[in-house]
Every structure is written in structure tokens, then in C-alpha cells.
Chain A
Amino acid sequence: MEPALELKAVTKTFGEMRAVDTLHLVVPRGAMYGVIGPSGAGKTTAIRMIMSILFPDSGALSVLGRSSALDAKDRIGYLPEERGVYRKMRVGAFLSYIGQLKGVSAEDASVRASRLLARLGLAETERKKLEDLSKGMLQRVQFVGAIINQPDLLILDEPFGGLDPLSVRLLRDLIAEEHRRGATILFSTHIMAHAEEMCQHVVMIHKGRKVLDEPMVGLRRQYDTRTIRLEPLDPRADLSPLRTLAGVEHVNVVDEGCEIRIGAGTDPADAIRSVAAIVAPARIELARVRLEDVFIRLVTEGDGAQESESVLRANLQGLEQVS
């Protein structure tokens, strides 16, 4: 089956700046892809080109088997980063309008709008004007607008930007739901934690270039840090015997337990067994790789650490959400 999305050497320049530089990308049908990278990396430009809102200077792309998203707009759901509404319109009317613009019949659109609003706990807002909604509510309404046509491809540009944790969780569930329904999902974020939790596949962009394109599973394997996280069953358990265990290089005591660094040549499975035998664990696991670390490593190795690591980290943790 043809991929849901394919970009071949797509490049876009604004004046002197190369916003997107020979980007190749293939998103298979039914996948959940995360595009990550700091603010200004070129994520939005790439997405706008996928949506045929901008057009590449060179390169080719295909969306749902068409050479342009213009031919498939009714089958795409899109939540732009800069998402607005007609403030004077009523919620129900707005969603119905957006639905109809995407080829949904008037009746279906209003039925779906009501159902989705109810699902999001916004049933009572249907008759309200959009300007009377809180920001979190607005974001949910906008998400409903993006999925009202039951899209085959759902593109979300920074869907979690500026959301409170509760709304983030709600939105994450909805995205997962759409994914289960069969939609291919591509979302961008500069907050790595979101991508870590949600996507099956990660694409990292930095300064318009793709620096990583890997499934999460492979990433975890590839970047395993040989660290075991232990949370003892008894919080007051003595952790010192671990330091003398064969193969253990270092034990770092943290809040709920400790991080045990094992040396090269030691099998992590054996190490876990040995550790568990000494201290009864409430939880024991191999530390999962953090995308943030991967990214920082890639970027700083790649181009001679032009940017300070702390700045990158701050950006990726969402400390600078006002992008």
C-alpha cells in the first residue's frame, strides 16, 4: 500500500533562510509519527507544505496518494499551530461550517459536532459564542474541527502548545482514539516528552534538516544507556551492598531509589536479577532513553555544538513555549 505521506527532497527558502532543507520523509498508513525539534526548526513550514498552504521551492510530495493535498483536503484533518476561530460565531455553527467546507453534509456535520462536543465535555457550549470560551475549551473545539471529517490523515502542529496538563491528557486520549479508528497521524512538537509518550516513530528536525528518523522501539534499543532504575519496596532499605556488586560501575541515589550504572560487558538482564536479589524492588527497570538526550547528542555531535546545550534543553522541555 502506498504511504499516507511522502516527501522527496523538499526544500523551502524564505529569503536567505532555508526553512526546510532537502527533507525526505515517508509516513506509512496507520502510523503515528512525531516530528520534533526546537522552535524554528522548520516543523511548521514542512507541515504547511504538506498541506499545500505553502509550496516547496524544489522536491516533490504526495499526500494520500495525490500529488498535492489540494486534491485530498476533504480526507485530511489539520490543526494548525496558529489556529483561530470566527470569534462571533457559535460553536455548533462554526464546527458545522468547517465540516461542510471539508465536504461533510450539513446534517452529518452538526450531528458529529454535537457528538464530539459531548465526548469532550463541551455539550453545553454548542450554542455559545466562541469568544465566550476559555482557552482550553477553544483548543478542544478546534480539535473537533480538525477531526470532524473523520480524516484518513490527521496533521497536528504543536497540538499541546499552551495547554494545561488536564487538557493535554484529554487531547492525547483523543488523538489515540483517532489513531485506533485508523487515521494516520503526524504531529509536531518541540516538547520531547509528548513525543516520547505518544509516537511510534520519531522524526527530528534541526535547522531545516532531518537529523533522525527512527521507530521509538529502535531508538530505545540503540540508545540504551545501560542504567537500571530501582525503586526499593522498603524505602529505608540499605543500598550500599549494590555498590560492590560485580559489573556495577556506579550507584547514584535519587529521590525514590537509585540509578545503577552497569559496565560494558555486563548483561543487563543478569544485572537486574542480581540487583533484585539484594534489594527487594517495588519497581526495577532499564532506564528508557530520553528523546531530549538523543536530540542533544545528535545536534551537538553533528555540527560542533554551535548552540549551548542548556538553551536547547530549555527549549525542548517547553520552558520557552512562547515560540
Chain B
Amino acid sequence: MKKIGLIAAREFVTTVTTTGFLIGLLIMPALFALVGLLAPRILNARSPQVRGDVALIDLTGQVTGELRTSLDPATIEARRAENLRRTMGEAVPGVGQATSATAAAQRAIGGQVPALRIVERPAGATEADVQREKDWLVTQAADERHLALIVIHPDAIVRAGGRPEFGSYDLYVSATLDDATESVIYEGLRLAIVSARLAASNLDRVAIEATMRVARPQSVIVAADGEQRAQRGFTRTLPFILGILLFMGVMVGGQTLMTSTIEEKSSRVVEVLLAAVSPLELMAGKLLGQLGVGLLVMAVYVGLGILALFQFAMLGLLDPMLVVYLLVFFLITYLVFGALMVSIGAAVNQMAEAQALMGPVMLLLVAPYILTPVIGRAPNSTFSVVVSFIPPVNTFAMMARLASGTPPPAWQVWLTVLVGLAAACAAVWFAAKVFKIGLLMHGKPPNFATLVRWARAA
């Protein structure tokens, strides 16, 4: 036992005291911060302003004016700012009062407002007229682009005798029209037609809009320890965050476990070690040491996370039991993957050979990322329940379910833990066999079939 402790201590200290580890530890938070800062700027870089003509055949004669207004760049911009103010107000309290700065920033994010010129075509047009306009849409002039053709149906504003529904419009667009501009045209048309209808019915548009609008306030969770503003975003992202934490902890420990084993094997220090300890002691020590490393990484990130929650006074949203579960599931997942990684490390001679064996393991490790959204949406579906009992992804699945709004029954959690522990035992058993044989094997790198044969032979 003392020897295992010695090996674990060395493993831990040598890993943690490298500069690479420190950089690795800090690079994740740094990366997140960087992405948070840069992504909006990069992804929504200003595209050149779209300019062009939109032909309009208004068979009602009542929409043209309204459309000119609703597609006016100034109106579009005002509308965007207003929308932004509302969404932000709903999502994050305190941001409701949009400052000019945020509005400007959001204008930048939305891209340039298109400059659309409405070109009126004579109303009462026949099929032939429409066809002529379509041809116009196809011929693109160098100095002005022909973007779209709108044909407003005659009953779009006033219902044709006895019909319950209003008429609508046809929209023909050029092949080069981008999605953003098309949406602008759709929205402009909707507003223009509604306005025209209201005017035709002698209704007060402002009054009606106000009547239709019901502000959606933040829901407030009433709990024993006080009131809390519900953060839908938080509960939605929590399963992901916990999954990533689990992944990180396992990856950091597991990856180092593999590389350090390969290093010991290729530098031939392993035979010196085997003169002092048994292969099982060596493996146990290494697993334990890297477990410490993984725990340290998790502790740092969980600590930072809690600090951040505390900072935003959202600490109450985090169920402390989740941290306990995270720890339990980390132990299980680490043992399963750590054991696999250490056996791969023992089986191969150098890093390059490990890649072939790593593939399936990595696949298992990233599978939860595909599963988590599915599970998050329906945490108690048959699929979710079944997946949380299939190792090695069961711990990820259960973690996501626990973090969701409707946690699973206790027996399922226990079953996941039991299945996980069984898987961990099996993985460690397998690894011990492979480790023992692999350490002194040099030469042709084995495949998984060989590893299984070793495990059965040893």
C-alpha cells in the first residue's frame, strides 16, 4: 500500500508541476472568455449593404405606401432596436433599458440594414404582366440589382365577399437574394399589410398593438431559502457544463496516464520499477496519482464556477447534491476510461501507435455530447433511462438527467452508480491483465483483439 502511495505521489507531483499542466488548466477558462468576447465580432462581421430594387404589383392599391414605410432603412433599424430591447429585457433583468451603446452594438450584430427601392408596377396587371416582371427579375443590370417581385392579392386588405380569411401575396425572388434580406422583406410585408388592414377597418394601430402586447416577466422561484429569479438559461446549460467538467477531468487524467505509461515503457524505466513493485501496484499507483490530478482540475473549475455563481448571486440555483453526484460519477468514469488509457499506454511502444487504439475510446468519450441534448430535452424518456444504465456513457447520461428540471427517481441513480462501479471493476481488471503483459512487450503494436487475448491469457 505504501508503494502504491509513493507511485501515486510521484505521478501527481510530476504531472502537476509541469508548465504544460498549468497552461492546460488555464487555457480552458481563457478559451471560453476569448470565444465569449470574440465570437460575436467574428461571426457577425459587417457584410456589405444590400442595395437593389423590389418590384411591387399592388392589386389592392393600399399596401404600397405602408410598404415604403416598413422597408425604409430607418424604420427597420428602429424596429430592430425595439425588438432587442424587449428580448434583452426578458432574458436579463437590468438590461431592459437599452442604451444607445448596446443598440449600436446590436445593429452591428444584425448586419447592415438593406437599402431597398420599391418600384411600383401598374396595378390590375395580367398574367402577362407578371411574366414580364419575372423576366425583369432574371435580367440583372450592372448598376442596380433586381431583388424581388411582390404581387399583393386583391383581397389582401379587404376580404372578398363572405370569405373568413384575408388574401395574401406572392413573392418572387432572384436567385442571388440572401436570407437576411428576404426576412426583412417578409417582415416588412407583414407589417405593411397589417397596417393597411387596420386602416381599412378604421382601427387604431397603436391601440391594437398595445392591446396585443403582454409583457413576459421573469418567473420567480419561491424556495425555502428565499426567492430566486429563475434562469432558464442556467438550468438549460447546466447539464452541458457538468458533462464538460466530467469530460475534462477524465481526459486530463486519462491522457496523462497514457502518455506517462508510454514514456515509462519506452524509456525502459519500467523494468527498474518492476524490480521494486508488482505491475498491479504500479498501475494502481498511477491510476491513483492521475485521479488526484483529475480531481484537482475539477476542483479548480467547480470552484471557479461556484465563485462566478456567487458573484452573480445565483449560487442558490445550484443544488449542492449535484456537486456530490459530479464527484461520484467522476470517480466511476475516470476509473473506466483511466483503466482503458493505461492499458493502451502499456500495450504500445510510442504515442503514434496509441492513436489507432485511442479512436474507439475517444468515440465513447465524446458520445455523451451527442446524447446530452437529447437527454436534456426529455430527461425521463425511455431512451434517456436506458442510456443511463449503459456503461461507459451511463454516468454522463445520469449527470445530465440529474441536472435537468425533472430529476430521475433515486433508484435509477443508484442503479447507474452500481452499473458504473461494475464497469469500473471490469475495466480495471482488463487493464491489469493487459498492463502486466504489455509493459515488457516491444515490437509490433497490438490491436484491440490482441489486447483481449492478453487479458484472457494473463
Contacts and interface: CB of A to CB of B under 8 A. Distances in A.
Interface stretch (A27-35, A78-86, A117-125, A255-263): A78-86
A51 B267 CA distance: 19
B274 A53 contact: yes
B3 interface: yes
Contacts of A85: 267, 269, 272
Nearest to A97: B10
Contacts, number: 59
A78 B275 contact: yes
What band does the interface of chain A fall in when counting residues whose beta carbon is under 8 Å from B?
Answer: 20 to 34
B270 interface: yes
A102 B274 CA distance: 10
B440 A97 contact: no
Given A83-B271, A86-B267, A98 B276 contact: yes
A53 B271 contact: yes
Interface residues of B, number: 19
Interface string B419-458: 0000000000000000000001000000000000000000
A84 B269 contact: yes
A268 to B, nearest CB: 46
Contact of A101 (B3, B267, B440): B3
A86 B6 CA distance: 15
B440 A48 contact: yes
A76 interface: yes
Interface in A1-15: none
Contacts of A97: 6, 10
B6 A84 contact: no
A317 B363 CA distance: 53
A141 to B, nearest CB: 11
Contacts of A53: 271, 274-275, 440
B330 to A, nearest CB: 28
Most buried by B among A70, A87, A98, A100: A100
A127 interface: no
Contacts of B264: 84, 86
Nearest to B270: A84
Contacts of A98: 272, 276
A76 B275 CA distance: 8
Interface string B276-303: 1110000000000000000000000000
B88 interface: no
A85 B268 CA distance: 7
Contacts of B14: 86, 88-89
Given A84-B267, A97-B10, A145 B272 contact: yes
Interface in A26-55: 48, 51-54
Interface string A270-293: 000000000000000000000000
B273 interface: yes
A190 interface: no
Contacts of A112: none
A110 interface: no
A73 B267 contact: no
A48 B268 CA distance: 14
A83 B277 CA distance: 15
B275 A51 contact: yes
A142 interface: yes
Contacts of A100: 6
Contacts of B3: 101
B345 to A, nearest CB: 15
Given A82-B268, A84-B270, A54 B6 contact: no
Most buried by A among B268, B269, B274, B440: B269
Contacts of A82: 268, 271
B390 to A, nearest CB: 36
A232 B418 CA distance: 88
Contacts of B267: 84-87
Given A48-B440, A101-B3, A80 B271 contact: yes
A73 B277 contact: yes
Contacts of A86: 14, 264, 267, 269
Interface string B1-20: 00100110010001000000
A101 B271 contact: no
Contact of B272 (A76, A84, A87): A84
A83 B276 CA distance: 13
Interface in B166-194: none
B109 to A, nearest CB: 49
A96 to B, nearest CB: 10
Contacts of A101: 3, 6-7, 273, 276-277
8 contacts: A53-B440, A73-B277, A82-B271, A85-B267, A86-B269, A97-B6, A97-B10, A101-B3
Given A70-B278, A80-B271, A86-B269, 4 more contacts: A53-B271, A76-B275, A89-B14, A98-B276
Interface of A: 48, 51-54, 70, 73-74, 76, 78, 80, 82-89, 97-98, 100-102, 142, 145
- Top 6 nearest A-B pairs (CB, nearest first) are A84-B268, A84-B269, A78-B275, A101-B276, A84-B267, A80-B271
